[in-house]
Structure 1
């Protein structure tokens, strides 16, 4: 159940009573980074934070971090907890807030993390009401927090109950030399083709449609899309698309856009599928399996030792079944908690 303790006003930094709370300043960042290092040593999370990242984010003109982040100090003045709401620019049609929360392991028994969840959500909603005063046409607010599944922050989010699990992220890898590769068998009426530049805009539109139903997802614009395909490690010639053979006007219904990753220590090359999706109405027909199998064949043909993919799904059980059946080994999962607010 959500914490029912009286929560602070917009001008206050108080989260709870066991620590001394203040708004984040740039001078606090080195100590916050040290706190993150201590948390990471204990928890070994999938995602890690660095001082350079924090400084860049604090300095972004639209971040206003000193208004949207707090730190909690113990009696000795050491920062042992923090929360940071990363806001989108206030002129965006559909504002988003990404929550970040950290508590030193020695202080977790005080339920500080649970209180930080409540403070962060309230802070996000107060900000939304503030910007809506001058923009009555603004869309709904989405608030989210991406954390390791099974982590203490995930437990605090679940205990608060305001945000709910919406998407899961994990990496999957497999060897290309252990056993036979899966056969490329597209379903009837579907043809796999090598990606060609002439299909770029169709694939971009298919990608945006494939991810449109996922909370917190944003359309990829043409410039960002083309820049990603022009990167030195991008391998369009290793990439595949799926198209209907009986209705050429339908265009692209699935895609696997690939790149190359070289490990400087081992010298091994990995083929990596960085964008992968199937239009909703064409799912559960074997198209995704065929695209993955075709990609593996391209990777092996170009001397890659491994195949990998970063998975983004709102149906984790189905995704796990797909990738395990294709011989992938899965890494730890990150879960995205989120909720939409209209006030």
Structure 2
């Protein structure tokens, strides 16, 4: 009899000894880093067909094979050796609170509605269970593990398939934009707070502040310096700002806004935008207009560089009060998405 009332992760994962077979006529094999170009081409073809408001770059596909995670990928090739379908399973190392396995995949339009997608999902679920059961946390009983899939608002077939396998939508996100031709209000912060341009010298202090600011946000994990840099590979320094409290000799980071430039997404979006990747305000300074001042500074920087919109994503359950700030600054929702989860 176990001392704990809860089974270990390995016991809960119920990992199968064998993976389910994948359908003919495709030839299936594991994907490796040498397949990056073929995978990028397939994802590009799928996105050209489905026309989501983004495009995946080669660097982003290369991240599928990042050694800082446990991963497994499967690809279906036709008789001429062309990749026509894929599925990926990824478990990041280092997550402390919740172990999340992310699933992603895609199929050429000509192969849809033939059971290929269902077969790939079943393979992914089985492989995800194997990865969890063999992970460093396998013998822990107090660990929470989730299998996670991001679902755009216009992919009802995927949502239906996930629901049939026990997934449920657990988080909702809105994609917002703000027309930069609309006058930008003058928002200031009271002294001793100052909004200043981001500089490399303040970067690690911002990282540490981010880990504090997002401590109460679902799914957020503390970032190491290496993870911080990787998360901001598209960062634009001239579009990024920091709010500093200079009430003492040593300035404290009260808030920060880091922006990205995703030019490869603009044709799919239909407009140019400065994208607010990360916006955070430390608890001690919330309610003092820090977020609004950071956003308006960024808007002016975007507009000065000819951008048409300011864009960002927001969690519908964000506990910081940021959603109200966006509404007051004339952001509007353009799309939404959901995160489907299966708890193990």
In the alignment, does 2:298 pair up with 1:295? Answer: yes
Kindly indicate whether the alpha-carbon contact (under 8 Å) linking 2:91 and 2:99 is maintained by their aligned counterparts in 1.
Answer: yes
Correspondence list, 1:174-323, <5 A: 174-175=179-180, 178-186=181-189, 191-194=193-196, 200-222=203-225, 225=228, 233-235=236-238, 239-241=241-243, 243=245, 251-258=252-259, 273-279=276-282, 286-297=289-300, 303-306=304-307, 308-315=310-317, 322-323=325-326
**TM-aligned CA distance change 1:57 to 1:199, over 3 Å:** closer
**TM-aligned CA distance change 1:158 to 1:323, over 3 Å:** farther
Following superposition, the deviation at residue 159 of structure 1 comes to: 4.4
Equivalenced residues, count: 320
Correspondent of 1:24 among 14, 30, 34: 30
Following superposition, the deviation at residue 290 of structure 1 comes to: 3.1
Q: Deviations over 1:272-294 (max 9, x none)?
A: 54431234676566542232124
Correspondent of 1:103 among 107, 112, 117: 107
Kindly indicate whether the alpha-carbon contact (under 8 Å) linking 1:166 and 1:336 is maintained by their aligned counterparts in 2.
Answer: yes
Following superposition, the deviation at residue 45 of structure 1 comes to: 1.9
Q: What is the distance in 2 between the residues matched to 1:155 and 1:63? A: 29
Q: What is the distance in 2 between the residues matched to 1:32 and 1:230? A: 21
In the alignment, does 2:44 pair up with 1:44? Answer: no
Correspondence list, 1:43-192, <5 A: 43-49=50-56, 54=61, 57-58=64-65, 60-61=66-67, 68-72=72-76, 80-89=84-93, 95-110=99-114, 112-132=116-136, 136=140, 139-151=143-155, 152-166=157-171, 168=173, 170=175, 172-175=177-180, 178-186=181-189, 191-192=193-194
**TM-aligned CA distance change 1:118 to 1:309, over 3 Å:** same
Q: Which runs of 5+ in 1 are unaligned?
A: 1-6
**TM-aligned CA distance change 1:19 to 1:69, over 3 Å:** farther
Aligned Cα RMSD in Å? 5.0
TM-score by length of structure 1 reads 0.67
Q: Deviations over 1:47-69 (max 9, x none)?
A: 434667546744x556675xx23
Kindly indicate whether the alpha-carbon contact (under 8 Å) linking 2:77 and 2:84 is maintained by their aligned counterparts in 1.
Answer: yes
Kindly indicate whether the alpha-carbon contact (under 8 Å) linking 1:170 and 1:331 is maintained by their aligned counterparts in 2.
Answer: yes
TM-score by length of structure 2 reads 0.66
